[in-house]
Chain A
């Protein structure tokens, strides 16, 4: 059973455009929602994360929007750059115990110059 559903599987945008990746979860006990960025040949690295007590978090060109009632969250990359080309994984986890993130399936983003 996939607890975190991520879409789209792949995304191609032009330089300067907006990239949007969506995730939905089922377990209402999740209380931490990170996004990891993975470049080819590298390990994933935390990009940005949000807790369910806020609806939006912005760091530079990256914004997470969170809708608790719909159990959905999304990553927006403004002014997308070729250097943003990578695979993005959303995740969800439960604190207060054995923390293990449940990953979405990943989105391969290509930003054309």
Chain B
């Protein structure tokens, strides 16, 4: 199984709503990532978890709250978002945070397309 599964595929929410995005992988990977991607732009790193601990937070606003309940699951909790937060949210995983000699490949899910009204 080489898949990263993200749900929901599409989400529409108002600025006062609370919602969550979910990501699951069963490849035994120990590093998981959240990226935000705007149209015609590269993915932009938000958070990295390594061995279920938050390793990197790229100065993301607190209205985005990540959670890693176990080694297979990654959630992104959303609250009081702004219309400019509308984007494709991508989850990715890798065997670990790479050591020298690793391939460094990221495995991406298909993303959750978020629209904030």
Contact = CB atoms under 8 A, between A and B. Distances in A.
A42 to B, nearest CB: 5
- Interface magnitude class on chain B: 20 to 34
A46 B102 contact: no
A99 B106 CA distance: 10
Given A95-B98, A99-B94, A99-B98, A32 B104 contact: yes
Interface stretch (B11-19, B36-44, B63-71, B73-81): B36-44
A99 B104 contact: yes
7 contacts: A43-B109, A44-B106, A89-B42, A93-B98, A95-B101, A96-B100, A100-B56
Given A46-B106, A89-B43, 5 more contacts: A45-B108, A87-B40, A96-B98, A98-B56, A99-B31
**What 10 pairs between A and B have smallest CB-CB spacing?**
A99-B98, A43-B108, A103-B42, A96-B100, A95-B100, A32-B104, A95-B98, A46-B105, A43-B110, A44-B108
